[in-house]
């Protein structure tokens, strides 16, 4: 994807954008707060989030309902 910019995803006050294979995460309320991840770091983050997909889904569904979080099985992380 060299020299290409992908359409941004905006969620919960954050903008996620791929530019030249780097992932930029920028605060909408304060654009000076920005993280830039290399392709390798973005892929590691994707893997990390994928391994926690069920817990993240549950958290989004239960947000604000005050129910206790279930005890999800621990998943070992691959080393990068």
Question: Rounded to whole angstroms, how far apart are CA atoms 20 and 35?
Answer: 15
pTM of the model: 0.68
> What was the pLDDT predicted at 28?
96
Q: What is the pLDDT along the chain (80 residues), one digit of tens a residue?
A: 456 778 999 999 999 999 999 999 999 999 999 999 999 999 999 999 999 999 888 888 877 666 555 555 555 555 65
Cα torsion through 79, 4, 17, 41, rounded to 10: 10
Give the largest Cα separation in the chain, rounded. 45
* Full strand arrangement of the beta sheet holding 22-27: 9-11, 14-19, 22-27, 34-37
What pLDDT sits at residue 71?
Answer: 58
pLDDT at 34: 97
| CB 15 within 8 Å of CB 8 | yes
């Amino acid at each position: 994807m060299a020299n290409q910019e992908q359409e941004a995803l905006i969620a919960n006050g954050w903008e996620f954008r791929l530019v030249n294979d780097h992932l930029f995460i920028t605060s909408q309320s304060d654009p000076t707060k920005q993280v830039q991840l290399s392709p390798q770091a973005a892929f590691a983050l994707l893997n990390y989030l994928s391994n926690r997909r069920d817990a993240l889904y549950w958290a989004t569904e239960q947000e604000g309902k005050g129910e206790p979080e279930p005890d999800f099985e621990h998943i070992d992380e691959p080393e990068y």
